[in-house]
């Protein structure tokens, strides 16, 4: 167990790597509400320079929608997988995908609102194709939220639960970050490169596993036993420092 928690630091990025970055908890620190997250002022430029250095082979892979990612890092537009892979944009110049609200979300949201009224501080985040139940501001609600989620799931075929950092999400069963990485790696500018996936959460384990399968590696932000990640960085600040080292002109 102790050895797993003491993973080595990742090697420097190589010119032929393809870089896949989670966002919350990896590039930006968590906030009380997802809308309050603020990236460092220099981060969009740093990512832009690094993307150029990798000939465009840098993608954001997030539970957020691609529209949210674009707003967060404006004016930068990168290849991206949003909503855990339910949305995919292979190049930053492609049109931003817009997905219709999933049929199962309306009734689920109504039921979840009843639970939220019982637990002040609990947050519902309706993403159109996913519903996230957050308890960061209502830690005592964790058990009730998990019980609710597992009780609702049998009524929704084709939907799965994705646990995360103080959150559990209802998402479509045929999407995850590993499948998103796999799809992006099939075409330029990612094809033929070594995938490096950086993330902090349980949602990123799918990405770590696929990166390893494709002869790349995962980088865990923080500590966790039983992770597919081969390397680790301690926190968001360390991720930024590691990214700076890979850029030809650090900012």
DSSP string, the chain: -HHHHSPPPPPPPPTTEEEEE--BTTTB---SSGGG----TTHHHHHHHHHHHTTT-EEEE-SS-HHHHHHHTTT----EEEGGGTEEESSTTSPPP--PPPTTHHHHHHHHHHHHHHSTT-EEEE-SSEEEEE-TT-GGGHHHHHHHHHHHGGGSTTEEEEEETTEEEEEETT--HHHHHHHHTTSTTTTTSEEEEEE-SGGGHHHHHHHHHTT-EEEEES--SS-S-SEEESSHHHHHHHHHHHSSS--
pLDDT confidence of 184, banded at 50, 70, 90?
very high
* Predicted local confidence at residue 247, as pLDDT: 78
Cα distance between residue 172 and residue 157, in whole Å:
9
pLDDT confidence of 198, banded at 50, 70, 90?
very high
* Predicted local confidence at residue 251, as pLDDT: 42
Neighbours of 75 (CB within 10 A): 7
* Predicted local confidence at residue 127, as pLDDT: 81
Residue for token digits 């609102």? 113
* Predicted local confidence at residue 209, as pLDDT: 97
The arithmetic mean of pLDDT across residues 212-241, rounded, is 96
35 pLDDT more than 80:
no
10 pLDDT more than 60:
yes
* Predicted local confidence at residue 1, as pLDDT: 44
188 pLDDT more than 80:
yes
* Predicted local confidence at residue 2, as pLDDT: 45
* Predicted local confidence at residue 129, as pLDDT: 80
- Residue 22 annotated among the catalytic residues of the structure: yes
pLDDT confidence of 100, banded at 50, 70, 90?
low
Q: Is the dihedral of CA 76, 77, 79, 84 positive or negative?
A: positive
The arithmetic mean of pLDDT across residues 163-175, rounded, is 86
117-125 long-range contacts (CB < 8 A, ≥24 apart) are 118/144, 119/144, 119/145, 123/33, 125/34
Cα distance between residue 196 and residue 160, in whole Å:
26
pLDDT confidence of 39, banded at 50, 70, 90?
very high
* Predicted local confidence at residue 81, as pLDDT: 95
Residue for token digits 């109504």? 110
The residue annotated as part of the active site, out of 17, 22, 176, 204, is: 22
The arithmetic mean of pLDDT across residues 48-61, rounded, is 96
pLDDT > 90 fraction of the chain, expressed in percent and rounded: 66
The arithmetic mean of pLDDT across residues 209-215, rounded, is 97
């Amino acid at each position: 167990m102790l050895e797993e928690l003491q993973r080595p630091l990742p090697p420097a990025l190589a010119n032929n790597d393809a870089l896949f970055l989670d966002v919350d908890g990896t590039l930006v620190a968590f906030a009380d509400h997802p809308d309050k997250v603020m990236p460092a002022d220099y981060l969009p430029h740093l990512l832009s320079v690094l993307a150029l250095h990798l000939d465009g082979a840098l993608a954001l892979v997030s539970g957020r929608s691609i529209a949210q990612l674009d707003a967060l890092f404006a004016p930068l537009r990168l290849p991206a997988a949003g909503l855990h892979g339910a949305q995919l944009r292979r190049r930053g110049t492609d049109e931003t995908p817009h997905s219709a609200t999933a049929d199962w979300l309306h009734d689920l949201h109504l039921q979840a609102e009843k639970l939220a009224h019982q637990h002040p501080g609990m947050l519902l985040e309706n993403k159109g194709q996913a519903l996230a139940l957050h308890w960061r501001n209502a830690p005592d609600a964790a058990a009730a939220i998990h019980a609710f989620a597992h009780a609702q799931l049998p009524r929704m075929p084709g939907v799965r639960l994705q646990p995360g950092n103080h959150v559990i999400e209802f998402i479509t069963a045929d999407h995850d970050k590993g499948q998103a990485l796999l799809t992006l790696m099939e075409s330029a500018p990612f094809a033929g490169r070594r995938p490096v996936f950086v993330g902090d959460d349980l949602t990123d384990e799918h990405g770590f596993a696929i990166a390893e399968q494709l002869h790349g590696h995962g980088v865990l932000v923080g500590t966790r036993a039983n992770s597919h990640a081969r390397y680790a960085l301690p926190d968001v600040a360390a991720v930024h420092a590691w990214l700076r080292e890979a850029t030809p002109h650090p900012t």
